[in-house]
Amino acid sequence: MQAAPTRWVPPADHLAPVYAQWSLDVVDAAGVYLHTRDGRQVLDLYGGHAVAALGYSHPRLLAALEQQARTLIFQSNAVPLEVRARAALRLTRFAGLGLNTAFFINTGAEANENALKLALRITGRRKVVAVEGSFHGRTAAAGAVTWGAAQKWYGFPQAPFEVEFLPRGDLGAIERVIGTDTAAVIVEPVQGVAGARDLGEPFLAALRARCTATCAQLIFDEVQCGMGRTGFPFAANMYGVAPDMITAAKALGAGFPCAALLMADHVAAHLRIDDLGTTFGGGPMACALIEAVVDIIESEGLLANVRRLAAQIRETCLVGPVTGVQGAGFLTGLRTRRPAKDVQRELLERDILTGTSADPHVVRILAPYVLEDAHVAQLRDALAALPG
């Protein structure tokens, strides 16, 4: 009898050894489940760092991908494309808040890099204020405003501008730290890597007021918390606080790499030909998927689904090792009595994939917006079966 065919797995020796690897051997995925080589079906509540917002193999996403690939796989930004114009229109309408202009790039870090560059140039100032616990990306400017990067991995000999960190949630420090020398304040309204820390409306509204008073640009980094993850188009909509710029990535293409910088009219008014640029940003594939993602979120009522099931997680998952639930929508932090990495491992042993965070006692959940009641019940039952 012939042995069952096994897939050939190339040795990983030629990959840069910069990522710790989970013990998870994924071969493919469908809906909210990953399938492993040894036949397990794993409920994915992490989505590849918040990217797979529509789960896997969503038929309308695949149709958009295939149709655009067949129609026109690429043309540069020098060639005007209908699909690019449509993506910008859909995305800026989705955001509202007077953010009427989109610049498309490729990654979250690149979006933040461009937002910061614009703010520094518009104001002619040299200082950027960020918030303790922040994560904004790995490039020179984005890394400079990322909390703790200099000590951990930054690598550049110096930051490209002056940076000051604001204590998280400290309303009293806002007036002291943000002044007429501040070009920009960059903030994740709900901090992701920090462990799903919702900064709250009073803090964000106070940042808005202070930026307005000092003519500093307020940048909401919604790379992780935006594009529907909070159950609103952006966290800015949830709080009713309009920044001058929003950066988006991750869920924006639901798996296709792309990012966007959304700007208020007074920011866009400063732009001239050649000020910003990228080869791949705004490519037709990315734009077709951005348009499809907005369309799917809106037409399938996924914002309401996120809000409803996020409330269900809050109500039912205070079991086993979980002592609290924090964050907003599907940027959820389960505060755990025991180390989060132990709880994460135990959940994976029970076929549920979650993430951790910079907080050693927070398990981070970045569930797909297409989650169903039964999946929340599966999570609750698994948590309840773990030691407290």
Ligand X SMILES: Cc1ncc(COP(=O)(O)O)c(C=O)c1O
Binding stretches for ligand X (CB under 6 A): 49, 107-109, 112, 135-137, 188, 192-193, 221, 223-224, 249
Q: In angstroms, what is the minimal distance from the CB of 221 to ligand X?
A: 5
N- to C-terminal Cα separation, the chain: 49
Cα 329 from Cα 174, distance rounded (Å): 27
Cα 53 from Cα 269, distance rounded (Å): 33
Helix and strand counts by DSSP (H, E) for the chain: 14, 16
Residue (103 or 135) nearer to ligand X, CB: 135
Residue (149 or 296) nearer to ligand X, CB: 149
Cα 41 from Cα 51, distance rounded (Å): 19
Residue (222 or 291) nearer to ligand X, CB: 222
Q: In angstroms, what is the minimal distance from the CB of 208 to ligand X?
A: 19
- Give the residue among 342, 369, 353, 257 at the shortest CA–CA distance from 25: 353
Q: Go through the chain and tell me how many residues it has.
A: 388
Residue (287 or 382) nearer to ligand X, CB: 287
Indicate the angle between helix axes 302-316 and 373-384, nearest 10 degrees.
20
- State the residue number with the nearest CB to ligand X: 108
Residue (29 or 227) nearer to ligand X, CB: 227
Q: In angstroms, what is the minimal distance from the CB of 176 to ligand X?
A: 25
Find tokens 């400063």 and name the residue. Answer: 270
Find tokens 């020398």 and name the residue. Answer: 181
Cα 81 from Cα 83, distance rounded (Å): 5
Q: In angstroms, what is the minimal distance from the CB of 348 to ligand X?
A: 20
Q: In angstroms, what is the minimal distance from the CB of 145 to ligand X?
A: 10
Q: In angstroms, what is the minimal distance from the CB of 137 to ligand X?
A: 4
Residue (68 or 146) nearer to ligand X, CB: 146
